[in-house]
Chain A
Amino acid sequence: MSFMNRLRDKSKNMTDTNLLLLITIVVFFAMYIGAILFQGKGFLKPQTFFNILNANASLIILSCGMSLVMITGGIDISVGGVTALVSMCCAVYLDYHNGNVFVAVLIALAIGLAFGLVQGFLVAYLDIQPFIVTLAGMFFARGMTTIVNTNPFNVQNEAFVALKETRVIVPGFGSVNKLGKYVPAYIEIGVVVAILIVIVLFCVLRWTKLGRSFYAVGGNSQSALMLGINVKRTKFLSHLICGLLAGVGGFVYFMHVGSGSASHASGMEMNAIASSIIGGTMLTGGVGNIIGTFFGVLSLSTIQNIVSSAGLDQAWWTGITIAAMLCLFLVIQSIVMARKKRALRKN
């Protein structure tokens, strides 16, 4: 009990952001240990963890952008659509036109940037609800994807396939297989990109004035204005960066699946929102942390992995477990915040 009390005293002095981050990390580790205990040794292998990263690098990147917008008090539900559009455009360019991989990357960035620019302008300068603006963006991106190409297909472009299959060896985490052969652990290039983005964005949010102004605007935009922050520009930048990250995430997604399809990344924006919330970002704005978002994605995908390795590999089971987990996190969050508030009122 004294430990609980000490924890409560500590939590009193913590900012909401850090407190929620702590909860997220603790719950993730608890869940992963649970998975090891109940789902057997599979989860003990480092490669299992790396595979989760490989499969979800794009979600990490999209969630980073999503968290940024949510911290500023907005939302962007176009990111899934943008991912599909980027995949399709790059696929068509690489396969039908035998294009250059670097140009494909530029195309991806350009698409993301264009969405960020337009949506950011509409939200910040014309003062339209971000939900409506990005809803339109989502429909537009999905529609455009089908216009670019209706049928799904795999990309055969050699340079791209080489890039897609590039593995970054993680030394020291390999394991020995049944034949006694050493298999090194690896991650895909997308994971490297995702981790870089997490680090850069974390630093920006923590140690730059721009980063802090995202929090200020999300906390209370009216106050932020009185405190001398350019609220419109801050909102614009949050959507711009989120759009750009949707472009990057789209390409990373494309690198992982290696195909173009109109049904790619369907519902991915919702996964990004869920990850951000599990990661301690509040929909009301002003509270959140990119490291938390990173762990949010890991928690979400670990749950999905547990579900599928338990033989319940059906879409609705995943949906139900995600729903349950979101509820769990929100309940924990609100209990902890309420306790903190009560402890403060006592003072």
Chain B
Amino acid sequence: MENKTVLEMRNIHKSFPGVRALQGVNFTLREGEIHALMGENGAGKSTLIKVLTGVYGKDEGEIFLKGKEKAVAIRSPQDAQKLGISTVYQEITLCPNLSVAENMYIGRTSGVCQNWKKMNKDADKILQSLDIPAKATQQLASCSIAVQQMVAIARAVDMDCKVLILDEPTSSLDDQEVEKLFGLMRDLKARGVGIIFVTHFLDQVYEVCDKITVLRDGKLVGEYEIKDLPRVQLVSKMLGKDLDDLSDIKGENAAYDKEDASKPVFETEGLVSNAGIKPFDFYIKKGEVNGFTGLLGSGRSECVRAIFGADRVIGGTVKKNGKVIKITKPLDAMKNGIAYLPEDRKIDGIVGDLSVRENIILALQVLKGFFKPFSKAEANQFADEYIKLLGIKTASADTPIKSLSGGNQQKVILARWLLTHPEYLILDEPTRGIDVGTKIDIQKLVLKLASEGMSVTFISSETDEMLRTCSRLIVMRDRKVVGELSGDDLTQNKIMSTIAGGDRE
């Protein structure tokens, strides 16, 4: 063990029923280093972190810490904390009803009484030294998520942590907040803390990290200096294959351009819902992929929700093949061959305790009616077919969906809608929070479906993703459709200027 090494994990193995989550993984962290842990969903990042923090026990392997002769045993999060390993999770693990100072000190000081004065003073000192914009006496719930995360880090720092694990800390932060967090991370790095940084955002890795360790399918791919590993190579290492040239995808979707003359399958006229959008006109042709783009909150989701009947429609009409249809609730839309993959899969999409199979057949079951259940054999056949088709990584069709990774949950929901064989598929942020590999899978799938004649509307916050898949973009600003781009106009710059509003120039 080198002198500067603060943590070394050697040959870690961990299995769950049906899955070998970690197979002989090594990981080394040095003093004053920000070390990115990268991998697709299901690559074993979370498992490795959980082994390190004592949430899971390991089947095999050793963990060494600086200053300890022998391998250490970590049996609980408390053990890990005592050894100087602290974790800050994406979901805040503090108590929102207590004050900032209490959250920093509760559960780790001795004695019977609470000395508020001393505690508040100490807390303020640490907050100041780390430049965190919070007061010790403030209630935690009154701080922004970013500040709450920083308070969690401050707690860890004060506990004299040697190893700080940041598990997707930036997912719910805006750019400025991310910048602040990075400032704090660099500060800690200068103090000699070793930081493990888990994230999906490649940009952020290249902005703050020194080293990258890549995992794939539970195995170690390698440890790299950040400067030795360009972005494209990182992605290909994570995926385990040479990255398909993404521009190739675009080639595939040329097929439907020829059918340009065909009539729209679905169109709306002055459609408006109670969600606060302005009336909008919209159409989609057979085999077309189009998209709504715009800033967050510009009304992209609200438009498609209105088409699907998920929000209450208060005006306008929807036509299918030229005939007016009445959609007042999602079931009406489903019966007319529309499928909608909602934005937030946790709230609107998955039924966590049901199995993958039940989640897949849910929408079709609704269409068929609840009193005519599918036979076990039918259900199994559907489930197996789509698990294979979409490459869903699950132990079996009986696994509860909540135990799957985010990307795989998304694929299950997608399978659910594909099973209803819709004519028109609406995908609202289908790639949010999932790894690069699955993202590309989904994009390819969209284009494949379109080439088979399905119409698809695709919404994503990442414009390059939209450019890759859509042949026509509807641009929204302030809950209003402000433009439509197609053909040569489909460029990043053009989209930006349309969103920003060209009329100001």
- The interface stretch among A83-91, A158-166, A226-234, A269-277 is A226-234
CA–CA, A227 and B114, complex, Å: 16
Contact of A223 with B94 in the complex, beta carbons under 8 Å: yes
* CB–CB A224/B95 < 8 A: yes
Could you say which of B81, B97, B107, B142 contacts A286, with CB atoms under 8 Å apart?
Answer: B97
Contact B94 A287 (CB under 8 A): no
A208 and B114 contacting across the interface, CB-CB below 8 Å: yes
Partner of A219, one of B78, B81, B96, B142: B96
Closest A residue to B107 using CB positions? A228
Given contact pairs A208-B114, A223-B92, A15 touches B109 in the complex (Cβ within 8 A): no
A133 lies within 8 A of chain B by Cβ: no
A229 touches B97 (CB 8 A): no
Q: Could you tell me if B95 and A344 are in contact, using CB atoms closer than 8 angstroms?
A: no
What are 8 A-B residue pairs whose CB atoms fall within 8 Å in the complex? Answer: A208-B112, A209-B111, A211-B114, A212-B98, A220-B95, A220-B96, A228-B106, A229-B107
A215 contact from B95, B108, B138, Cβ within 8 A: B95
- How far apart are B446's CB and chain A's nearest CB, in angstroms? 36
Expressed in whole angstroms, the Cα–Cα distance for A225 and B54 within the complex equals: 13
A12 contacts across to B, CB distance below 8 A? 142
For the complex of A and B, the 6 pairs showing the least CB-CB separation, nearest first, are A228-B107, A219-B97, A219-B95, A286-B97, A227-B107, A226-B93
* Residue B102 interfacial (CB < 8 Å): yes
A207 touches B113 (CB 8 A): yes
Number of interface residues of A (CB under 8 A): 30
Q: B139 contacts the other chain (Cβ, under 8 Å)? A: yes
Asked whether, in the complex, the Cβ of A286 is within 8 Å of the Cβ of B95, the reply is yes
Q: Is A321 an interface residue (CB 8 A)?
A: no
B330 at interface, CB cutoff 8 A: no
Q: Complex Cα distance A220/B95, Å? A: 6
Chain A interface, DSSP helix/strand/loop, else mixed: helix
Q: Is B99 positioned at the interface, with any CB of A under 8 Å from its CB?
A: yes
A76 in contact (CB, < 8 A)? no
The answer on a CB contact under 8 Å between B78 and A228 is yes
State whether B97 touches A209 (Cβ < 8 A): no
Q: Shortest Cβ distance from B307 into chain A, in angstroms?
A: 30
Tell me, in angstroms, the Cα distance from A159 to B107 when the chains sit together.
48
Residues in A neighbouring B106, C-beta threshold 8 A: 209, 212-213, 216, 224, 227-229
Nearest residue, chain B, Cβ from A224: B95
Q: Tell me which residues across on chain B come within 8 A of A206, comparing CB atoms.
A: 114
Residue A218 is within 8 A (CB to CB) of chain B in the complex: yes
Please, how many angstroms separate the alpha-carbon atoms of A57 and B474 in the complex? 68
- Are the C-beta atoms of B95 and A223 separated by less than 8 Å? yes
Q: Tell whether A51 is near chain B: CB-to-CB under 8 Å.
A: no
B103 at the binding interface (Cβ < 8 Å): yes
Identify the closest chain B residue to A225 (Cβ).
B77
Report which residue of B108, B109, B141 has the largest number of chain A beta carbons within 10 angstroms of its beta carbon: B141
What 0/1 readout, one digit per residue, does chain A (1-29) give for beta carbons within 8 Å of chain B?
Answer: 00000000000111111000000000000
Most B CB within 10 A of own CB, among A216, A227, A229: A227
* A135 on the B face (CB < 8 A): no
Residue on A with the closest CB to B96? A219
Please name all residues of chain A whose beta carbon is closer than 8 Å to the beta carbon of B139 when the two chains form the complex: 14-16
**Other A-B pairs beyond A13-B142, A227-B103, A229-B106, 16, CB < 8 Å:** A12-B142, A13-B138, A14-B139, A15-B139, A16-B97, A206-B114, A208-B114, A209-B111, A209-B114, A213-B106, A223-B92, A224-B107, A225-B77, A226-B77, A227-B108, A228-B78
Chain A residues close to B by CB (< 8 Å): 12-17, 206-213, 215-216, 218-220, 222-229, 286-287, 344
Task: Give the chain A neighbours of B109 by CB distance below 8 A.
Answer: 209
A227 cross-chain contacts in B, Cβ below 8 A: 93-95, 103, 106-108
In the docked arrangement, what's the CA distance between A286 and B113, Å? 19
CA distance A226 to B165 in the complex (A): 14
CA distance A215 to B112 in the complex (A): 16
Q: B102 to A212, Cβ gap below 8 A?
A: yes
In the complex the two chains form, what is the Cα distance from A328 to B109 in whole Å?
41
Contact B78 A209 (CB under 8 A): no
Task: Assess the B107–A213 pair: CB atoms within 8 A.
Answer: yes
Bound Cα distance A226, B107 (Å): 9
Q: A44 CB to closest chain B CB, in angstroms?
A: 39
CB atoms of A216 and B114 under 8 A apart: no
Task: Please tell me if the beta carbons of A17 and B97 are within 8 angstroms of each other in the complex.
Answer: yes
A contact residues around B137 at 8 Å (CB): 13
Map CB proximity to A onto B44-66 as digits: 1 under 8 Å, 0 otherwise: 00000000000000000000000
CB distance from A119 to the nearest CB of B (A): 24
Name the residue in A17, A211, A212, A287 with the highest tally of chain B Cβ atoms < 10 Å from its Cβ.
A212
Q: Would you give the shortest CB distance from B369 to chain A, in whole angstroms?
A: 35
Q: A287 — which chain B residues lie within 8 A by C-beta?
A: 97
Q: How far is the CB of B491 from chain A (nearest CB, A)?
A: 36
Residues on the B chain within 8 Å of A209, using CB:
106, 109, 111-114
**Which residue of chain B lies nearest to A227 when distances are taken between CB atoms in the complex?**
B107
Of listed A17, A210, A213, A216, residue having the most chain B CB within 10 A:
A216
Residues of A within 8 A of B81 (CB): 228
Instruction: Say how far A340's CB is from chain B's closest CB, in angstroms.
Output: 8
**CA distance in complex: A218, B116 (Å):** 20
Whole-angstrom CA separation of A12 from B99 in the bound complex: 13
Q: Contact between A228 and B108 (Cβ–Cβ < 8 Å)?
A: yes
From B140, which residue of chain A is reached at the shortest CB distance? A219
Tell me the smallest distance from the CB of A173 to a CB of chain B, in Å. Answer: 35
Residues of A close to B111: CB separation below 8 A: 209
| A13 to B134 Cα, complex, angstroms | 12
| Chain B 164-205 per-residue mask, 1 if CB under 8 angstroms from chain A, else 0 | 000000000000000000000000000000000000000000
Most buried by A among B78, B95, B112: B95
Interface centre among B106, B113, B138, B141 (most CB of A within 10 A): B106
Q: When chains A and B are docked, how far (Å) is the Cα of A200 from the Cα of B93?
A: 31
For residue A13, which residue of chain B has the nearest CB?
B138
User: Which residues of B sit under 8 angstroms from A286, Cβ to Cβ?
Assistant: 95-97
* Complex interface: chain B residues within 8 A of A210 (CB): 112
Would you list which residues of chain B between 127 and 173 have a CB under 8 Å from chain A? 137-139, 141-142
Cα distance A222–B109 when bound, in Å? 19
CA distance A212 to B111 in the complex (A): 13
